Amino acid sequence: MTMLMSTAIIVLLCIIQLTSIYGYPSNQDLQEGAVRHRRWKRDAIVSFRTRPSNQTAALGDTVILHCAAHEQSDLTVTWYKGGKALTPPFTRTIFVLFNNDLLVIANRDNADRYTCELKRGNARISADAWITIRSEMKFVEAPVDATVQFGDSHVFRCSAAGADRITWSKDGQAPGSFIDGERVLQNRGDLVLTSVTLTDTGRYTCTAGRDRDGHTVEAKATLVVDVDIDGVCGRPFHATGPDGFITGGTEVEQGAFPWQAMLWDIRPTRNRFFCSGSLINKRWVITAAHCIRELGLTEQDFIVRLGKHTSVRGVLEANERSYIVEEIIVHPDFNGDTYDSDVALLRLAPPEVTFTEYILPICLPEIPEARRLIRSGNIGTVTGWGAQEEGGGTSEKLMKVSVPVVSLRRCRDAHPQYARDISQNMFCAGRREGGRDACEGDSGGPFAAFDNGRWHLLGVVSWGDGCALRGKYGVYTRLHRFRGWIMEHTEEQGRSLSSNTPGNRVRNRNVLWDMPDDAFSEVHRGTGYALVHVV
């Protein structure tokens, strides 16, 4: 025990000695020691699981700004608007939800910067988000429903404040399906239809859009196309004048003569075009009587093809439409020997012809107007797929030739052997030097005059003594002499056709094929322009 006490005394003396040398520790020394001790503990950590993101809203929209930390314990969430803390009581348009998200009703005052602050102990982090009010796009001009006459122009107006772009659709179809940059085009926001056709009927939608947020607004309008025959006849969309000189002719632009009808023999042994005609309304085509009689055709033997440009067999063109013939009416006075009264009507079976930019009727002028246009020296245009030279093959493309009308006296003098056959129901056209004329295959086609912005049907290609020969002329049916008969049948008012009227109807007659061979040779040596005359 004495030994233990001696040891304790020695230790105590050492402590006293050290204290006298270094002194007692200060409070600062004690605090620093505490800090050094705490550094061994883990610092508080806070991080975002969900950050608030910028929002663009329309006035009155509800906007939710999300904000959450990975660890929720001992976490304090504080929202700031424009740097000012949002604390209860909240306004009627800003609320902190139970899950610490922020609900904002978008209005002008609430368009601001919002900050979410997360705090745990001494650790804190924050993130900003902006709420901006979407500027409203409003239509300054919007399209309205319209009814437009066929062939007229129309503009759908469309402009919107705040829009970066305007696009159009029709019946849900993309603009490329109907805007061609020529007949239908977009000028800024407006949709311009330069010449309205029945295919333009439909529901149009103007869509105004903004690039930065993809926001769009729409306005719709319906277009109805009204067809007035008097308004559309003789007015092609692909306009062409009467100049241009078929034999000695030039190829026409597609759609330049949209009334041109092609008569196509559908019998298996034939299967080719044989004559032309002219569309005068939605149900009727005018052609030459000899085209029907000399082939002994019935309604079941051929079809009428409209909108055609090529005569090549087996080619179905995008713009063409074919129609069954419901009825054939040959003029009762038609003379197969002299070709007097060489005119026939073809009634097309339903449905009615749909007018397009490639299928339109030609005008049938009143008698005084026709007499004025058919005076000697006036120019007319003939169109068809006939031979381009006598004895040559038919043309693969629709051709035109312009020729002047000549007097009946000059015509009779030029054809002395047929002088007695050239009647008042005919007229002649051509040039003394020859070189330009209709020819085989052009029969039934139109002789038309361009006057006051319209084409008028004056004649039907009937016959000629050769093709484009010097000193010879083509002979045409003078249609105004038959205008009453034509209107009687085609106006559909009080129409009564007598099946026993001589020569009035052609039904299952076999005129040409009952002829002996020498009779057919005589027909070929004659003057008709029907394709069947070509050997």
Give residue-wise pLDDT tens across range 250-269.
778 888 999 999 999 999 88
309, 218: one domain: no
403, 436: one domain: yes
112, 142: one domain: no
Q: Name the strand (E) or helix (H) holding 477.
A: strand 474-478
Domain stop point among 314, 348, 382? 348
Is 448 inside a domain boundary? yes
- Give per-residue pLDDT as tens, 84-100: 999 888 888 999 999 99
373, 478: one domain: yes
374, 471: one domain: yes
Confidence (pTM) = 0.58
Spell 36-48 as b/e; 16+ CB within 10 A means b.
Answer: eeeeeeeeeebee
Of 290, 309, 331, 480, catalytic: 290
- Give per-residue pLDDT as tens, 402-422: 899 999 999 999 889 989 999
Joined together, the tokens standing for residue 171 give: 């019946």
* CA atoms of 127 and 214, how far apart (whole Å): 26
Q: Catalytic annotation on 443?
A: yes
Of 443, 456, 462, 480, catalytic: 443
Is 484 inside a domain boundary? yes
Q: 397: which DSSP letter?
A: B
Number of Cβ within a 10 Å radius of residue 194: 13
**Domain of residue 115, CATH code:** 2.60.40.10
Give the pairing type, strands 55-57 and 123-133.
parallel
Number of domains in the chain: 4
Confidence of residue 526 (pLDDT cuts 50, 70, 90): very low
* CA atoms of 288 and 344, how far apart (whole Å): 5
Domain residues for 475?
Answer: 367-489
* CA atoms of 388 and 248, how far apart (whole Å): 7
Is 219 inside a domain boundary? yes
Is 499 inside a domain boundary? no
Confidence of residue 466 (pLDDT cuts 50, 70, 90): low
Least confident of 70-74, 288-292, 503-507: 503-507
- Looking at residue 433, its pLDDT comes to 66
Q: Catalytic annotation on 6?
A: no
Of 101, 200, 265, 342, catalytic: 342
- Looking at residue 111, its pLDDT comes to 93
* CA atoms of 129 and 55, how far apart (whole Å): 8
- Give per-residue pLDDT as tens, 121-175: 889 999 999 999 877 788 999 999 999 988 789 999 999 988 999 999 999 999 9
Query: What is the rounded average pLDDT for all residues in the chain?
Result: 81
pLDDT reading at 273 higher than 70: yes
Is 73 inside a domain boundary? yes
Q: Catalytic annotation on 421?
A: no
Is 217 inside a domain boundary? yes
- Looking at residue 251, its pLDDT comes to 78
CA atoms within 13 A on the CB side of 336: 17
Q: Name the strand (E) or helix (H) holding 300.
A: none
Confidence of residue 469 (pLDDT cuts 50, 70, 90): low
- Looking at residue 236, its pLDDT comes to 86
297, 220: one domain: no
